Amino acid sequence: MTSTLRDESVDAGEQAPAGPRVGVLALQGDFREHAHVLAGLGASVSLVRRPEELAEIDGLVIPGGESSVIDKLARLFGVAEPLREAIAAGLPVYGTCAGLIMLADSVLDAIEGQQSFGGLDVVVRRNAFGSQNQSFETELDIPALGAAPVRAAFIRGPVVESVGPDATALARLDDGRVVAVEQGNLLGTSFHPEITGEHRFHEYFLGKVRARIRSLV
C-alpha cells in the first residue's frame, strides 16, 4: 500500500492514499518519528499545527517532547481548545510521554499555569523517571498487544499515579506503576514505541481510528 507524509508543501490537488487520515501534532517533540511509523503502516499522515487541520483527520498522535512547551504552543497557535472539543467529540488520539501528560485530566508536578487537553481519566506525574541521563529501556507484558513482550524506552517520562473508573491500565512496570492506559478512543503510554522499532501500539491505535471511521459511515 502506498503511504505518504503530507505537510504544507504538498500540492493541494494531490490525491490522498486510501489509508486512514492520521495527524501528528507537530508543535514540538519527536513528531517526525511518529509520522514515519504511521506512514509505514499505511496511514495518510499530515503534520498538524493549526485548528483547521483537525477537521481533515480521522485520528491524532501527540508526540513526546516537553509537555509545558506543547501546551504553550498549542494555545499560541489556537489549537488547544479545538483539540479539547475534538477529543470530547470522540476523535481517536494517542499520546506518548509528553503526549500522555497532555491527555491526562490531572497533572502532578506541572509548571505554574500548565494546562492539558484532558480526556483520560487519570492522574499523571510529570518527569517521574528523573533526568535525561536516567533514561532506560525494559520489556513489558501487554496482553492487549499479544504474547510477545513490548520493548519500551523511558526518557524523562511520566507515570500514571492513579487510574479513574473510566480508564483502563494496559501496562505496568515490575513495581506496579502504570505506564500505559486507554479509555475509549484515547490511548496513552509513558514510553516511546516510535524509537524502539515497536509498532504494535501504533497498529492498535490505527484499529481505533478505523473503528471510529466505520461508526460514522
Residue 105 carries which DSSP code? E
Q: Percentages helix, strand, coil for the chain, rounded to the nearest 5?
A: 30, 30, 40
Q: Of 53, 66, 182, 194, which one is the catalytic site residue?
A: 194
Q: Write the DSSP assignment of 19-59 as a string of letters.
A: S-EEEEE-SSSSHHHHHHHHHHTT-EEEEE-SGGGGGG-SE
Active site residue 194: yes
Q: Of 97, 182, 198, 202, which one is the catalytic site residue?
A: 97
Q: Are strands 93-96 and 21-25 parallel, antiparallel or unpaired?
A: unpaired
CA 214/CA 217 separation, integer angstroms: 5
Q: Of 66, 182, 192, 202, which one is the catalytic site residue?
A: 192
Q: Would you please indicate which residues are annotated as catalytic (active-site) residues?
A: 97, 192, 194
